[in-house]
Amino acid sequence: MDNKHLEEQAENFVKSQLLKYDFKVTKPSFDKKGGDLIILADIEKKNSKFLLVQSKGRTVLEVNTFVKIPIDYVQNNFILFIYTIDETKKDCLYCFFPDDIKKWNINKSNYTLTINKKQLKAKYFIEKEFNSKLAININLLLNQTEIRKYTSIIIDGIFLQKAVDQTLKTYSEIWPEKIFIKPDLNSVIKCILDYYDRNKTETKIVNCYLLLSQTFDFESRININYHDQSFVTKNGNQAKVFINKTNEIISFEVLEQLDRLINNDNIILVADDRIYEDPLNELKKKGIEITVVMLNEHNGSDMFIDFNWGDILYPLGIACGLERCEL
């Protein structure tokens, strides 16, 4: 059997079983410490308890097959499902909690479990077959999980590219003798955080999602170091940048990313297009708070939203070499 097909089958089966027991399940858009799926305590809240779910699919025969899980994946909010199927198409789903996995053999930097048809008949595996009792245990683990604080920055790359042009145009008229620098992406993100992060003093994780179009020459305006997509913020928080180049419509990709992250503690959206108006105002009605970084009306914005917003020219001006007194 094609392994990729089996892994997809396993993930879909796990999701269907979790939905059966009324769990709120979503799929992360990036590699989140082994999380193929995420279970949320409340998908409507801007911050929510969550569990990372990894799914594995294995064809079981008389000979051994193995499941390996990196040790650093197995935190208190991690759950593993193993979906098995034999040559007669008989399948089964097994659920393993962190304490279960930590009892496995360790091979280098992985926890390792051996599986074959004979072992699946043993008491150990029978007790791990997913059922209503284990679903209750998942709920208990979810309720015990601490809420982790995040700031997530979602950037419409087409808008940011245009905003750099507008920034240089505006400030060149004010400071005609000024020599501007070409900003790098990390500097731009740091400046946006410095101006518009509402929770600067909190210890948290910062994730930035940059959505780029294959047809736009973004790197003619902003340098990207693809070998160093992480940095430390001014407040000592770890920040990670995730870049997605696509041929799809960027605004749709941005809205999809926003939909995945509305449970996060603090979202900064860097975008300016009328297409965002209705979705953003609907989120506002639900009580979700987002900081939007956009152009002001004088510089060409015609997007009207109910959220607090900040002018993109200020952080970009700093990133391009201006002093605060020159803004």
Residue 170 has pLDDT above 60, yes or no: yes
Residue 260 has pLDDT above 70, yes or no: yes
Q: What average pLDDT does the structure give for the chain?
A: 89
Q: What is the mean pLDDT of residues 72-99?
A: 93
pTM given for the model: 0.62
User: Backbone phi, then psi, for 180, in 5-degree steps?
Assistant: -90, 155
Return the amino acid letter for 35.
G
What single string gives the DSSP state of each residue in 241-262? EEEEEESS-HHHHHHHHHHHHT
Report the alpha-carbon distance of residue 121 to residue 46 in Å, rounded.
Answer: 44
223 band by pLDDT with thresholds 50, 70 and 90? very high
Beta-sheet pairing, 238-246 with 230-232: antiparallel
167 band by pLDDT with thresholds 50, 70 and 90? very high
69 band by pLDDT with thresholds 50, 70 and 90? very high
| Radius of gyration for the chain, computed over Cα atoms and rounded to the nearest angstrom | 23
Domains observed in the chain: 3-144 (3.40.1350.10), 150-326 (3.40.50)
Question: What pLDDT was estimated at residue 1?
Answer: 45
